Amino acid sequence: MVPGTLDVALWRGDAGGGAFRRYRVPATARQTVLDIVTWVQRHEDPGLSYRFACRVGMCGTCAMTVNGKPRWTCRTLVGAAARDGKLEVAPLANLPVVKDLACDMTEFFEKWQRAEGRFQPRPGADADFAVVPPDSAARRAADAGIECIGCGVCYAACDVVAWNPDYLGPAALNRAWTLVNDVRDGARERRLRAVAGDAGCHACHSHQSCRQHCPKHLNPTASIASLKRAAAAAALRGEL
Amino acid sequence: MSARAETGLWLTQRVSAAVLALCVAAHLVTIVLAVQGGLSAAEILGRTRGSAAWAAFYATFVLAAAIHAPIGLRTVARETLGWRGPTLEAAAAAVGVALAAMGWRAVAGLFA
């Protein structure tokens, strides 16, 4: 490695296949992995495709596989991710590649819909403001998972998604759990039925890769475990 | 399979796992005590034959294993082989029936 440079390998290809291409990138203080990818596109290879938007860890669009681990690249410092000055960046696992480092997120978000991961107000909910005590157990449970930015890191890290492509995945199930705990929502039973099928919460093995890699430090495994218990209780009550 | 059926299987596997945890612990303690006591096979059979308590214990152990194992194997088959549908459900049920039949036959041998 030349002093002051990084040895960077970026995956180039499409859904049909591809390979890593190597670049030498100047090392600067506190640069992020996204800075590296952007430098390559602007100075070495204008044809490189990747996706980003906010650059401040809010939009969830820039996730990639960095040295084998799924990460949000805009908030990952090279110093924390590089090994011996080497960086290998690939598209997220478990998702189809569009081109180079950009994945097709369609299936990921369709699974949110399949998990009924959208707010559905109770009938008459628009009559008055809902009073939701912030320290109530349900609200605390919802708050624990509410900061998901939909980056897909947990989905890429999940072994069960790799084994069962129909599995709804940690993010969709985590979203469903936040809504199960939303007292303003009126679709609890339908949502529990949606997430308790053969590709839903009961398929989770609690490996906790989602928790390990979530850049927002959420714990989707705990949300999924809670969904399992809620579905079981609903089944015992004859509501499922 | 429906959400109710999947949830039922999940719950059944958890309950059978709890029963198995107790049965395995009791079984291991029994083995260690029997071996340390220097009991021969004939002496062990002398204690189990005609004992409704031992028969009930091991019959429960077998039942829990016969319920628990096929549910887990069904999951393994789905994830590793991509095997799904009625043939898998039938095969898993057959494994359970076979485990129960073989296990209870062994229990009958201890009791009778």
Q: Can you give the pLDDT of all 240 residues of chain A as single tens digits? A: 556 899 999 999 999 999 999 999 999 989 999 999 999 999 999 999 999 999 999 999 999 999 999 999 999 999 999 988 899 999 999 999 999 999 999 999 999 999 999 999 999 888 899 999 999 999 999 999 999 999 999 999 999 999 999 999 999 999 999 999 999 999 999 999 999 998 999 999 999 999 999 999 999 999 999 999 999 999 999 998
* Residue A3: per-residue pLDDT: 63
Amino acid at B22: L
Looking at the DSSP assignment, which residues form a beta bridge with residue A103?
Answer: A97
Is residue A23 within a helix (H) or strand (E), and if so which, with residue range? Answer: strand A17-26
Q: For residue A198, list chain B residues with Cβ-Cβ distance below 8 A.
A: 1, 6, 78, 84
Burial class (CB in 10 A: 0-12, 13-18, 19+), B75: buried
Structure tokens at A60: 């969830």
Q: Can you give the pLDDT of all 112 residues of chain B as single tens digits? A: 799 999 999 999 999 999 999 999 999 999 998 888 788 889 989 999 999 999 999 999 999 999 999 999 999 999 999 999 999 999 999 999 999 999 999 999 999 8
For domain B3-111, the CATH architecture is Up-down Bundle (1.20)
Q: Indicate the average pLDDT of chain B.
A: 95
Residue in B1, B4, B7 to test binding to A, most A beta-carbons within 10 Å: B7
Q: For residue B6, list chain A residues with Cβ-Cβ distance below 8 A.
A: 196-198, 200, 202
Calpha distance A37→A9 (Å, rounded): 10
Amino acid at A81: A
The pTM for the full model equals 0.91
Q: For residue A164, list chain B residues with Cβ-Cβ distance below 8 A.
A: 78-79
* Residue A2: per-residue pLDDT: 57
* Residue A214: per-residue pLDDT: 98
Q: Which domains does chain A have, with CATH numbers?
A: 5-103 (3.10.20.30), 106-236 (1.10.1060.10)
Is residue A47 helix, strand or coil? coil
Is residue B76 within a helix (H) or strand (E), and if so which, with residue range? Answer: helix B52-81
